[in-house]
Structure 1
Amino acid sequence: MPQIVFLGAGSVVFTRQLLSDLFRFDDLPDLRIVLHDINPERLDVAHATADQLVSRFGRTAEIVATLDRRDALTGADFVINMIQVGGIDATRVDLELPAAAGLRQTIGDTTGVGGVFRALRTFPVLSAIASDMRELCPDAWFLNYTNPMAMNVWWMSQVAPELKVVGLCHSVYWTVHDLCELIGVPMEGTHYRAAGVNHQAWLTELSRDGKDLYPKLRAAIEADPELRRRVRVEIFSRIGFYPTETSEHSSEYLPWFLHSDEQIERYRLRPLEYIGISEENVAEFEHAKATLAAGGELELEEGAAEYAPQVIHSILTGTERVIHANVVNRGLIGNLPEGAVVEVPARVDSEGVHPLPFGDVPTQGAALNRSYLSVAELTIEAARTGNPERVRQAVLADPNAASSLTPEQIWALCDDMTAAHADLLPVSLGGRLEQ
């Protein structure tokens, strides 16, 4: 019986979506689903959610919930990682402390000072997971959803290069889905291809029946002045290829938007937006808990959209499909650094996930990608060497931070962030976490 482990299963909404997508495949074998979280209350809700979905979809599955990570990982075939180290309290720090210093972020979980510190507190847990997996399930696939995506997958390639690690993010799919809606073209049958880095890949192909759809997109933008007030559309107009993540995420990768009140207003950005999103997730957890306690049915989204269920389905059934995946750049993109983590198309079949060589991404896109990869590389080096100067240099290399703060202010902010996150950071980087 294949065993699928959910780490951070207390992310109840996400766990619900992944399980419902998985159970919609009617040709899968019986599964053993193991749910792990460090929060007992959230784990109980995740367990009740899984039990309800097994019943609603008429599946035969063994559902196990455990607070012990090693118990969860023993004998795993697939490990889905959704952990959020520090939870909503750490998220507030990542956004509010920089904002008080004059550095505005919208999401703060992938790049910039928020992404750097989120990575630094996640790496020790990833190292422990990797150690457990080497011992307890060395052949399992590690399917990562936790942000910062590229940094986390890159870190795993450093501490456990022998493990099979793939980063999964559905931003490419949803970008194409939304563009198809915008230009009035069915998603099914539309061909697309993208590459770059997570949350900043470039849609280099968008076509249907051999016909390029970019002219239709440009016409739709030209006809709607409000579309031209979106960050992604501005990036598209300057770079020539559409970026594959929301305007909120995209704004943080560049120095063009968040440093200026006028730009924030013009492009309809909402600094600190992720705090509200996180609070909505907490409210949704409470709603799910109350619904389950009352014997009600949870609301489900339609369609097998998330990649992890598709990867599992392909490996277990041999069904071939192409997804976009975050993997180590080993000859995949020629004009991005070798060894960095990039996002490229990948074929999935019974043998696993096979990244497809892409060639070069557009030069102007690669130039922007390298800015992010520099932040990521310095963050990795900071954690690997225990050098706190590299933490500050990582933030200094971030275009948004450098457009808003002086070097002296960046150093002071990193001191404050280190103090605020001390319980979750290694001693070598100024924290209190013994490793």
Structure 2
Amino acid sequence: MKFKIAFIGAGSIGFTRGLVRDILSVKEFKEIEISFTDINERNLEMVTKLCQRDIDENGLNITIKSTTNRREALKNAKYIFNVVRIGGLEAFKHDIEIPLKYGIDQCVGDTLCAGGIMYGQRGIAEMLEICKDIRDVSASDVLLLNYANPMAMLTWACNKYGGVNTVGLCHGVQNGHKQIAEVLGREKNEVDIICAGINHQTWYIQVKTDGTDRTGDLLAAFQEHPKYKVEEKVRIDMLKRFGYFSTESNGHLSEYLPWYRKRPEEINEWIDLSKWINGETGGYLRVCTEGRNWFETDFPNWLNEPAYEFKEENRGQEHGSFILEGLETGRTYRGHFNRINNGIIPNLPSDAIIEAPGYVDRNGISMPYVGELPLGPAAVCNMSISVQRLSVEAAINGDDYLLKQAMMMDPLVGAVCNPNEIWQMVDEMLVAQKEWLPQYKKSIAEAEDRLNKGDLIPTQYNEGAARLKVKTVEEMAENRQEAKRNSGEADKGNF
């Protein structure tokens, strides 16, 4: 089979490399074309060198075409993987640090809450430009596979305003499925699930083993598990109060809700600092910073390690390669995908991006009818969908009025801040991130005037309730294996 795949943001080295391994493990895909593009020329060079080494050592006659010219990379592509982080770590730091001044303590800040909303403003502006390039130069039947966050917002914008058929992909469902199997004392393939909701707030509404529904057994199983009863306190509490287990990790979930991070003195009751993803303040920013610094130092060692072997048994759990395999070969694949609702879950808005079971074969990606979510989980999702809709429309129109309304409606922001504080915080974030927000030029000028006039609400630097220090390269070098693991978590595919 001959077709072209392009990667946008290919400098996400571990994730890109893993996807290439997965795709080239499909026996029919030995003659495809691959192109990489990224704005970071150094990262692009490193990832190309490493992936090409893998390809060569597996005996394939494929040469990666690597370029900083996005349109060149996208030309004639049938499948496009999007793994970008618009604004990089510089913008990401503003997403975490400015809200902290107002008492908003985030662990990740890339899906909802103040950080996720602003990340969406940057991402949507650039995704519209990417979609224009795709429409202009890519194959007419192109499929955009979006792995970038905020997943729902970007996928929503690409489908509604970008004019490109887009599916959003995440591994949260797979990770939670594995945890459920573990607490039930089963292998993952022995536990059948139906999971539905919205990305990062997807609910395991059916869990079966041997044909018997085990949903009611999960609370006791998680409460008694020696590891998860410590690491997943928020998820267990939500399971207790809403009746269903949710996909996302403890730290992620805690910042999407109004109850667990609004009082600094209570945050540590709900989180665990053995791993950043369990709730550490600014945890993902820390590991991304450490990971970037370590990778730049340690890259030569990566080339001295064994190449990836392109074998079926080595494929990861990401949906991407399986979707391509289903579409191209007709072999059926079942996964959970982010698509426009269109009545699949009737008590969520029809235009929203939902995450639900889907099937892939030569006929395309088919999303079967799920039915209504239980009322509690549906209410949680609908609260977030309102924030997503406001955020998408704000980003499309460069409308800071809608942006501020999105912030007010966000569960955690609204639990911590009053309207005047939210208005001022958004002004600060717009001004700090103006180089990545071309659609807000007029609003940013007005925000600068307001901030320069003085008479501002007092704020203060805030380390957060559970902040850990960013390690130096020298400190990371004391435990190279740990540093490498951390570098992997800093990549797109592991958070």
Q: TM-score, normalised by structure 2?
A: 0.83
Report the counterpart of residue 289 of structure 1 in structure 2.
Answer: 299
Q: SS of the counterpart of 1:360?
A: coil
Partner SS state of residue 55, structure 1: helix
Tell me the distance in 2 between the aligned counterparts of 1:39 and 1:270: 29
SS of the equivalent of 1:207 reads strand
Distance 1:411 1:236 in 2: 34
1:253 aligns with 2:256: yes
What RMSD over aligned residues (CA atoms) do the two structures have, in Å?
1.9
Q: Cα offset for 1:69?
A: 0.5
* Counterpart selection for 1:274 from 266, 284, 288: 284
How many Å apart are 1:215 and its aligned residue? 4.3
Question: How far 1:361 sits from its partner (Å)?
Answer: 1.1
The offset of 1:267, in angstroms, is 1.2
Relative to structure 1, is the Cα distance of residues 119 and 88 closer, same or farther in structure 2, using a 3 angstrom cutoff? same
8 Å CA contact retained: 2:341, 2:350: yes
CA distance in structure 2 between the partners assigned to 1:307 and 1:280 by the alignment: 28
User: What's the % identity of the aligned pairs?
Assistant: 31
Tell me the amino acid that sits aligned with residue 420 of structure 2.
Answer: E
Q: 1:51 Cα deviation (Å)? A: 0.7
- 1:153 is matched with 155
The one-character-per-residue Cα deviations of 1:395-435 (angstroms, maximum 9, x if unpaired) are 00001001111111111110110011011112436348xxx
* 1:2–1:288 CA distance, 2 compared to 1 (3 A): farther
**Partner amino acid, structure 2, of 1:239:** F
> Structure 1 210/250 Cα, relative in aligned 2: closer, same or farther at 3 Å?
same
Q: Which of 398, 404, 411 is the matching residue for 2:410?
A: 398
Within 1, Cα distance between the matches of 2:403 and 2:246?
A: 27
Distance 2:159 2:215 in 1: 36
Q: Is the 8 A contact 1:5 1:78 kept in 2?
A: yes
1:353 corresponds to 2:365: yes
| Alignment partner of 1:231 is 2:234 | yes
Q: Distance in 2 between matches of 1:376 and 1:241?
A: 23
Q: CA deviation at 1:218?
A: 2.8
Q: What's 1:410 paired with?
A: 422
Counterpart residue number, 1:142: 144
Match of 1:366 among 361, 373, 378: 378
Among candidates 306, 314, 325, match of residue 337 of structure 2: 325
Structure-2 residue corresponding to 1:109: 110
Instruction: Give the distance between the partners of 1:321 and 1:283, measured in 2 at CA.
Output: 38
Counterpart residue number, 2:38: 37
Equivalent position of 1:190 in the other structure:
191
For residues 184 and 388 of structure 2, the distance between their equivalents in structure 1, rounded to whole angstroms, comes to: 35
Q: Is the 8 A contact 1:31 1:62 kept in 2?
A: no
- Verify the 8 A CA contact 2:159 2:165 in the aligned structure 1: no
Q: Distance in 1 between matches of 2:80 and 2:185?
A: 38
Map of 1:82 onto structure 2? 83
Asked if structure 2 preserves the Cα contact closer than 8 Å seen for 1:167 and 1:326, the reply is: yes
CA contact 2:127–2:162 (8 Å) conserved in 1: no
Gap change, CA 1:128 and 1:357, over 3 Å in 2: same
Please give the alpha-carbon distance, in whole angstroms, between the structure 1 residues aligned to 2:219 and 2:117.
Answer: 35
Alignment partner of 1:297: what SS?
Answer: coil
State the 1:113 CA deviation.
Answer: 1.1
CA distance in 2, matches of 1:83, 1:272: 20
Correspondence for 1:265: 268
Given the alignment of the two structures, is residue 243 of structure 1 paired with residue 246 of structure 2, yes or no? yes
Distance in 2, Cα, partners of 1:166 & 1:66: 25
Q: Quick check: 1:24–1:57 contact (8 Å CA) kept in 2? A: no
Letter in 1 for 2:150: P
Residue 394 of structure 1 and its aligned partner are, at CA, apart by: 0.3
User: How many residues matched?
Assistant: 430
Is the Cα contact below 8 Å between 2:203 and 2:247 reproduced in 1? yes
d(CA) in 1 for partners of 2:429, 2:405: 14
Letter in 1 for 2:107: T
Q: 1:19-58 residue pairs with structure 2 within 5 A?
A: 19-58=20-59
Q: What amino acid maps onto 1:277 in structure 2?
A: V
Q: Deviations over 1:282-303 (max 9, x none)?
A: 14532562225x6443679943
Q: Deviations over 1:44-63 (max 9, x none)?
A: 01111211221343333231
- Contact in 2 for aligned 1:228/1:234 (Cα 8 Å): no
8 Å CA contact 1:106, 1:272 repeated in 2: yes
Aligned partners of 2:13, 2:320: CA distance in 1, in Å? Answer: 16
Distance 2:352 2:359 in 1: 20
**Which residue does the alignment assign to 2:125?**
124
Aligned to 1:387: 399
Partners of 2:306 and 2:289 in 1: CA distance = 22
> Which residue in 1 is equivalent to 2:10?
9
- Report SS of the residue matched to 1:423: helix
Whichever residue aligns with residue 232 of structure 1, its letter is R
Q: What secondary structure sits across from 2:63 in the alignment?
A: strand
Unaligned stretches of 5+ residues in structure 2? 272-278, 446-495
Q: Please give the alpha-carbon distance, in whole angstroms, between the structure 2 residues aligned to 1:288 and 1:47.
A: 16
Greater CA drift, 28-37 or 111-120: 28-37
Q: Distance in 1 between matches of 2:206 and 2:63?
A: 42
